[in-house]
Structure 1
Amino acid sequence: MNLTRTWIALIALSAGSTALAASGLTGRAFALAVLALAWVKAELILRRYLHLARVPAIARGFSLGLAIFLMLAAGLALIPA
């Protein structure tokens, strides 16, 4: 995927986030959907813009750190109020 396609994908994902916010959805479902979109966007940025796809070991490390952070955030979103 070249940088132009990556940029278009990031714009589409951002539009998805905006549509999600405009939908009126709230609560846990909203938080998990936003986190899922953020995860995809972060992976695109890490692998395509920062070119970590060329260094698989480092890319896996960043992906693991990102996954742990987002799983913790999802866990917090699922805690009953």
Structure 2
Amino acid sequence: MADSRLEPVVLSEDERQTLTGWARRRSTAQGLAMRARIVLACAQGGGNVAVAARLRLDRKTVARWRSRFLARRLDGLS
């Protein structure tokens, strides 16, 4: 169940394609690939705790990258 206090992550089609490419491409740095997977999971819905559990990460990590993406979009993940 999503936390209603969280701002939802809504992706444009271009952003979704870019993030999917980063997450799947073998040559992408692993940190960037994980950040892309975090944002994609947030866009599917669910709160930080649910996304963190699904990706086996700390909820603070998910919260950090969700907020950075919302503030600066793709540039915020670099």
Q: Taking structure 1 as the reference length, what is the TM-score of the superposition?
A: 0.37
Larger Rg: 1
Higher relative contact order by CA 8 Å / sep ≥ 6: 1 or 2?
A: 1
In terms of fraction of residues, the more helix-rich structure is 1
